[in-house]
Amino acid sequence: MTAMTEPLPLTIGDAARVLRSGALTAVELTSALLARIEAEDPRLGAFVTVCPETALEAATEADEMRAHGVEKGALQGIPLAIKDLIATRDAPTSANSAVQDPAWGKGVDASVVARLRAAGAVILGKATTSEFAMGPPDPAKGFLVPRNPWNTDHIAAGSSSGTGVAVAAGLALGGLGTDTGGSVRGPAAVNGHTGLKVTFGRVPKNGVVPLSASLDTVGPMARSAYDCALLLEVMAGHDPGDRDAGRVPVPSYPALLSGSVEGVRIGVATPYFFDLPELDAETRTAVLTAVGVLRDHGALVREVTVPYAKEARDASHLILAADAFAYHRSNLVHRWHDYGPGTRPMLARGAMYSAGDYAQAQRLRTAFGRGLSTVFDTVDVLVTPTMTGPAERFDEFDVEMLLLGPGFTGQWNLAGLPAVAVPCGFSVSGLPLSMQIVGRPYAEATVLNAADAYQRWTDWHLKVPPTAVSS
C-alpha cells in the first residue's frame, strides 16, 4: 500500500464522509491503522489479538460493495476494536485470563458484533481488559497491561481499558466495551474520549462473558458523542438470545442530535458528587465549567440531591461482587492460582457477603430507583464528574481505594440508567478530565444530545495524545 500522506480522520463521522467521497478507501484506512497498531501497541498494550487478514477482507468487501453502489450506512468500512469479553468468530475470547476456556465462544460472533459486521464495520481485533473485568491483567501469565497514551506511567483504568486506549491513541476509530460498574466510562474518562453506558437491556449481551447478570451492559466507545450515536443505532434493539434485552424501539440516534440544549433541565448533583473531599479540585472546576458552557447555550441548570448516592455505590459493589463470585466459585476452588494475584481477592470477596446482605442491597436498589424517579420529575439529565480525578500512576494505584473509596459510576448501573462520559479538560499534568451526563431509562438520545451539543462548542474530545501517530 502507498504510504498515507494526509492525516487520517479522527472520528467515525469524518471517516464515513471521506470513505463515501472516495478520497480514502476502507482498505487504505484499515491498513494504516494496522500499521499504527504494529508500531504503537507494544508500548500501549491495547490489543490482545489483532486480526489483519480478516480485517482487510472485511475492508475489501466494504470497498467492493460501495463500488457497486451498495451503501450500508455510516459504519461501512470503519475499523473497530472489540473488548476481549465479547465473542468474535475470528479470534478467541480470553477474558485476559488463563482460566477462561479456550473453546468459549469459538467461531461465534456475539449478537452485537454480528450487527456491527452486518453494517459493514471492520473488526481489527480483541482489546485488552481487566481479567474477567475484575482484576488487573497478570503479566506473569503473558497478558499485556494497557497503558494510558497520554502518559504511560499512568493507568488506563478498567475494565474496557484496551478499547479506551485504542480510541484515544488513534489505533481504532471506535469500539465496544462492557460496563458493569463504570468499565466503559472509566477508560473513556482517563484516556480522553467519549463512552456510553447504555440503559440495562438497550443492547443485547448474549455472547459476552458475564460479570453480574443484572448490572452488565455493552456500550460504544469512540471519540465523540456523535460517533457513539452512530454505533448505538446499529447495536441497540431486542434480541431473543438475551432474556434481558428490552423491546423498546430503536430510534435514529444521530438524527436526534439537535445541537441545542435550549430549555434542557440539567441537575447538578451536588451532595456526594461535588462536595466530597476526595474529589480532585481540577476535576470539580472542569466539570462545573462544562456545565457553565451548557448554561450559556440555553440549558436550565439547578442543584439537586440524589438520595442514597453513597449507599447506591456500596450496593452496586456488593451485588457485583456476589454475582461474580457465584459465576467463578468452582474455578476459584479448583484453579485459584490460575487467576492473577490481583483478581483472586477481587472475586473471592463475594464469599464474604451473606444472603441477607444481598437482599438488603436489592432493597436499596429499589429505594434508589424510586428516589431517582422523583429527581427526574424535575430535570432531564443529571451531571456529575465521571471520576474523582485524572488517571493515577501505576506506582500509586490503590486497589483498596477502588473498592472502599467514593465513586460516581456504579450508581447508574444499579439503577439501569444511561450515562455518558464526556471529555471536559485536562489537569495541569496533561491528563484528561471528564464529565458524566445521566438520563432516564432509554433516554440515550437525551444524554447523547447534551454531550454532542457540548462537543460542538468545545474540542476536548478531539485532543490527541502527543505521542500518537498522526498519519
pLDDT at 470 exceeding the cut of 70: no
For each of the domains in the chain, give its residue range(s) and CATH number, in order of start: 14-462 (3.90.1300.10)
Concatenated DSSP letters of 212-238: -TTT-EEEEEESSHHHHHHHHHHH-S-
CA atoms of 437 and 220, how far apart (whole Å): 15
Structure-block grid coordinates of residue 374:
422523583
Question: One of 83, 197, 205, 463 is an active-site residue; which one?
Answer: 83
Rounded to two decimals, the pTM is 0.97
Q: What is the pLDDT of residues 215-259, one digit of tens each?
A: 999 999 999 999 999 999 999 999 999 999 999 999 999 999 999
Q: What is the pLDDT of residues 107-129, one digit of tens each?
A: 999 999 999 999 999 999 999 99
Q: In the beta sheet, which residues pair with residue 91?
A: 88
- Give the side-chain half-sphere CA count within 13 A for 239: 19
CA atoms of 196 and 237, how far apart (whole Å): 16
Examine the residue annotation and report whether 159 is marked as an active-site residue of this protein.
yes
Structure-block grid coordinates of residue 5:
500522506
Question: One of 94, 97, 159, 212 is an active-site residue; which one?
Answer: 159
Q: What is the pLDDT of residues 357-395, one digit of tens each?
A: 999 999 999 999 999 999 999 999 999 999 999 999 999
Helix%, strand%, coil% for the chain, nearest 5? 40, 15, 45
Q: What is the pLDDT of residues 24-62, one digit of tens each?
A: 999 999 999 999 999 999 999 999 999 999 999 999 999
Tell the residue number behind the cell numbers 474455578, with chain if given.
Answer: 331
pLDDT at 86 exceeding the cut of 70: yes
Identify the pLDDT of residue 468.
61
Examine the residue annotation and report whether 160 is marked as an active-site residue of this protein.
no
Question: One of 97, 111, 160, 183 is an active-site residue; which one?
Answer: 183
- Give the side-chain half-sphere CA count within 13 A for 379: 22
